[in-house]
Amino acid sequence: MNLKAGGTILKRAGAVLAALCALAVFAPLTGCQQTKSDTSVEAIVKATVDDHSYAKPQVARVNHIDVDLTADFAKKLFKGTATLTLTTEANAKQVILDVKALKIDKVTDASGAPLKYSIGKDDPMMGSALAIELPQGAQKIIVHYQTSADSAALQWLDPSQTAGKTRPFLFSQGQEIRTRTWIPTQDSPAIRQTYTARIVVPSDLSVVMAAKALTPKGEAVPGRASQRAYRFEMDQAIAPYLIAIAIGDIGFKELGPRTGVYAEKSMLDKSAYELEGMESLLTAAEKLYGPYRWGRYDVLVLPPSFPYGGMENPMVTFATPTILAGDRSLVSLIAHELAHSWSGNLVTNATWSDFWLNEGFTVYFENRIMEQVYGKDRADMLKVLGYQDLQKTLAETKPDFTRLHPNLKGIDPADYFSDIPYEKGAAFLRMLEAHFGRKKLDAYLKGYFERYAFESMTTDAFVADLRVHLLKNDGELEKQLKIQQWLYGPGLPDNVVVPTSPLLDKVTADAEGFAAGGDAAALKVDDYGTLQWVNFLRKLPAGLTVEQMAALDVRFDFSRSKNSEILFEWLQLSIKHRYEPALPMVETFLLSQGRNKFCKPLYQSLMEQPDWGVEMAKRVYAKARPGYHEMTRANVDKVVGTS
């Protein structure tokens, strides 16, 4: 395959050697062990370069981090130290870390002796390389530093931005390349690290981290009566983007033996009610793909500016409060984040070009959990809605960005974020499921999680594994299933399995019937749940009359829906139809939460209405922007502009 590239002779020799080895007879003579491992999964991952990190882990690698940080809510920063434990090659002269928006005060060795260091050019996406000179044999270095207002991993909230309104709040978001803005380390998902943390905070606040809590109630800090310290430990090696923290007036409620919920105290009961079924999701997940390896599984419900639906931080998923519909109907999001405990946290994408290995696997797995707990009808509806998202994205996206394995050199991984890695990735696994059957595919997936537990994985290495363990080295079959086209090509191969749902077909017919002049009062919607409503609203065509919109609103009260997914679809429709009575609710919704998935498309729809929407988008955004997370701001800035 690589014969055209440089080093032809060597590679040819290698190929011949490999061919001889395949015949096995020559094995004792030619050292085939070596050749075999060159094409092994481990070797492929090792040889892969992460374009989004400056680190040179072959020379010196961070294995473990101890952070000791004090949170300063007045200045909105952390100050303290990160002690890094390294593995180095014999003559390593320096270690390179990733840093961005950090103020480095000094770097010392374990005994406190200063070490020389230099900070490279500051790239707007990547930040800088922090190169630290290593004394012979050094295994520990201590970085003294503080974060800054530009630390994009951290959002410091004023009391007014919280549910309780009386105390400030802080949360972090590391994925994809933000951890370097609050911890100086090698910020690549292939460089797994364990960590401990000691976090000092004002004594009226508590700390949650994606780690084992060693001091759940905190401990006194000698000489500092107004502060408490919390200690944590993560003793399983994780990718640095999964290090996470939240500080606030946070309470906890147990849900099951291994599950519980954290939230601001005023949101705790509501959160616990919504997430009551979590333990059964966990049991279902384990039945599918093997034991849960992280001890506890808790969820932290964050204040409304959290820019994602959920983030799979190990042991404690961070979640948006927009899943609190009051009827437990949005738990598929929890199934998704829980599934990442296998696909993502246990076996992790080695680079951001391999992101589909996290998200595609997880969407597939999420749906299997949902099917097991809530039945096939509900799982099928979720699949169909996901497929609608995929079709829409494919239609709107340049073909080059529809690849599962894109080249992201020089590109911020956040700019690749779309439904492609999620839904095309899941569609790939469903194609395999259709061919091999569930029994074989499940055995394969379970084996995959076992084989690579606590390792990072590339797409190429996955293919190597797939060939051995599922395709059984059948090259013809690989072609027939269009594996290369699926993983490396644009668009959607024609052996995609198009999901169907009789329940949603009925809903689509209802929507079309209504649009064609049917009576809102005659719609039979007794069995409609959230997913049916989402489909109903999506299937209403453009060009409804104001009377039709009003009839729907009167009958179903959409403008006052407490369900964020339904409300979102309704507000989209309302903007497209300039349905005036719902427009105040557009403003209220955009001001009351900052989830990128809702904000960006709503502003986009407003901007598509030149005679009134542009003005409204700019006016609302001017008010809302200060409360949004940096990620949502960056996205909405592109749509609305910053002025």
Q: Which residues are tagged catalytic?
A: 337, 422
Site for ligand BES in 164-203 (CB under 6 A): 175-176
Q: How far apart are CA 622 and CA 597, in angstroms?
A: 19
* Residue 433 parent element (H or E): helix 425-436
Classify burial at 18, counting beta carbons within 10 Å of its beta carbon; exposed 0-12, middle 13-18, buried 19 or more: middle
Q: How far apart are CA 621 and CA 632, in angstroms?
A: 11
By CB under 6 A, residue 448 contacts ligand BES: no
Fill in the per-residue mask, 322 to 351: x = in contact with ligand BES (CB under 6 A), - = not in contact: -----------x--xx--x-----------
- DSSP secondary structure string, 98-143? EESS-EEEEEEETTS-B--EEE---BTTTBEEEEEE--TT--EEEE
Q: Choose between 156 and 365: whose C-beta lies nearer to ligand BES.
A: 365
Work out how close the CB of 418 gets to Zn ion at its nearest, in angstroms, rounded to a whole number: 13
Burial 351-375 (b: 16+ CB within 10 A, else e): bbbbbbbbbbbbbbbbbbbbbbbbe
Q: How far apart are CA 358 and CA 355, in angstroms?
A: 5
Work out how close the CB of 537 gets to ligand BES at its nearest, in angstroms, rounded to a whole number: 18
Q: Choose between 308 and 579: whose C-beta lies nearer to Zn ion.
A: 308
593 among annotated binding-site residues: no
Tell me the three state secondary structure of residue 375.
coil
64 among annotated binding-site residues: no
Q: Choose between 364 and 556: whose C-beta lies nearer to Zn ion.
A: 364
174 among annotated binding-site residues: yes
**Which residues are 465's β-sheet partners?**
none
Fill in the per-residue mask, 415 to 444: x = in contact with ligand BES (CB under 6 A), - = not in contact: --x---------------------------
By CB under 6 A, residue 310 contacts ligand BES: yes
Q: How far apart are CA 475 and CA 492, in angstroms?
A: 21
Q: Choose between 144 and 597: whose C-beta lies nearer to Zn ion.
A: 597
Lookup result for tokens 């020089």: 410
Q: How far apart are CA 445 and CA 429, in angstroms?
A: 10
Q: Choose between 249 and 359: whose C-beta lies nearer to Zn ion.
A: 359
Cα 484 off chain centre by: 25
Classify burial at 282, counting beta carbons within 10 Å of its beta carbon; exposed 0-12, middle 13-18, buried 19 or more: buried
By CB under 6 A, residue 405 contacts ligand BES: no
By CB under 6 A, residue 308 contacts ligand BES: yes
By CB under 6 A, residue 61 contacts ligand BES: no
Q: How far apart are CA 63 and CA 228, in angstroms?
A: 28
Work out how close the CB of 359 gets to Zn ion at its nearest, in angstroms, rounded to a whole number: 5
By CB under 6 A, residue 632 contacts ligand BES: no
Q: Pick from 157, 177, 311, 432: which binds ligand BES (CB under 6 A)?
A: 311
Fill in the per-residue mask, 326 to 365: x = in contact with Zn ion (CB under 5 A), - = not in contact: ---------------------------------x--x---
Q: Choose between 187 and 337: whose C-beta lies nearer to ligand BES.
A: 337
Binding residues for a peptide, as ranges, are 173-175, 307-312, 595-597
Q: Which residues bind ligand BES (CB under 6 A)?
A: 175-176, 308-312, 333, 336-337, 340, 359, 417, 597
Tell me the binding residues for Zn(2+).
336, 340, 359
Annotated binding-site positions: 173-175, 307-312, 336, 340, 359, 595-597
Where does this chain bind Zn ion (CB under 5 A)? 359, 362
